[in-house]
Amino acid sequence: MDKKIVTIAFSNQDGIEILLNQVRDKIEAIIFGANITPPPLVKPFDLSHYIKCGGIYSMDVGGKCKVEMTNSMLTVIPYGQSALNALYFSGEKDAELNDKLNKWTKYIFVSAIKGDYEPLGKILADEDRLQRFKKVINSIMTRYELQEADVKIIGTVPSAIEKGSVATFFEMTKGGRVLRFALLWKGNRIIGLDRIDARKEFKMIFLPVTDLKFIGYDIGLEMEVTMHIAKDVKGEVIGLLINGKSFTKERTSK
């Protein structure tokens, strides 16, 4: 019976970030009777009621996030791995592993630029895989003349490519040339390397379920994120609580 089912999905946009890429598999899963986690229910709201939520918020551990009011939605843009951890991960073990993956990724590619593949070999622990990765990386280095390039880590976030996997996004720059990549991990094991056409922008849209409680949802990861707005006795917004992690609103100079 399944052989008689055909799914066709259309979109008026293109690129890796389009919503179609996030929902295609879920549409097919629903058709074949699988259960998926639906987006949470939210309530209609007056955008002007939340204008004061906009601004920059900082964490004690160094991460920051920017809150914008765009297209009648509250958008949270995290900066730094600590803020990414608050938005996308739940435990301290995740945060510790993400820090290691960021360091390992930079060490691996800074070394590879110099022709040293020993760090990559230690992680892969497989000579055949090492040779395949070396061939790909050498091809990239030669084609784009990235010898002596700088390596900048953007951050590690969950990946929808494989359950339980994460992606460490990074940039390699030389002169005016910038190449962007995602190194895919499962635990401490490398499972892939992707070239990214555009700079990865981490952001999540939040909508209210109560006056002070918001829900964000990543449809690709089927992940729900809870955010609470903190106010002082005068009703001024002073902070955020995202997945239990505290952000303090920075004061703007008048």
pLDDT at position 166, please?
95
Sheet with 166-174: strands ordered across: 150-158, 166-174, 177-186, 189-196
User: Are 125 and 25 part of one and the same domain?
Assistant: no
Say whether both 10 and 77 belong to one domain.
no
User: In terms of domains, do 237 and 117 share one?
Assistant: yes
Q: Can you tell me the distance from the alpha carbon of 56 to that of 238, in angstroms, rounded to the nearest whole number?
A: 11
Rg (CA), the chain: 21
Do 161 and 125 belong to one domain? yes
- Say yes or no: 24 and 51 in one domain: no
The tokens describing 37, both together, are: 């986690």
> Do residues 14 and 62 both lie within one domain?
no
The predicted structure's pLDDT at residue 50: 77
Contact 176, 192 (CB under 8 A): no
Whether the Cβ atoms of residue 102 and residue 156 lie closer than 8 Å to each other: yes
Query: Which residues are registered as beta bridge partners of 193?
Result: 183
Domains in the chain, number: 2
Same domain flag for 213 and 147:
yes
**Distance separating alpha carbons of residues 190 and 130, to the nearest angstrom:** 11
Q: Give pLDDT tens digits along the chain (254 positions).
A: 466 777 777 766 555 455 555 666 667 777 777 777 666 666 666 666 777 889 999 999 889 999 998 776 789 999 999 999 999 998 888 999 999 999 999 999 999 999 999 999 999 988 999 999 999 998 988 888 888 899 999 999 999 888 889 999 999 998 888 899 999 999 889 999 988 877 777 899 898 888 888 999 887 787 889 999 999 999 899 999 999 999 999 987 65
Are both 103 and 19 inside the same structural domain?
Answer: no
Full residue range of the structural domain in which residue 24 is found: 2-31
- Predicted pLDDT at 12: 66
Note whether 74 and 27 are same-domain residues.
no
Would you state the structure tokens that stand for residue 212, as one six-digit string? 């002070």
- H-type alpha helices, 125-250: 127-144
> What pLDDT does 153 receive?
96
Whether residue 138 is found in the same domain as residue 25? no
Task: Say whether both 120 and 60 belong to one domain.
Answer: yes
Same domain, 24 and 47: no
Query: Do the beta carbons of residue 47 and residue 72 sit within 8 Å?
Result: yes
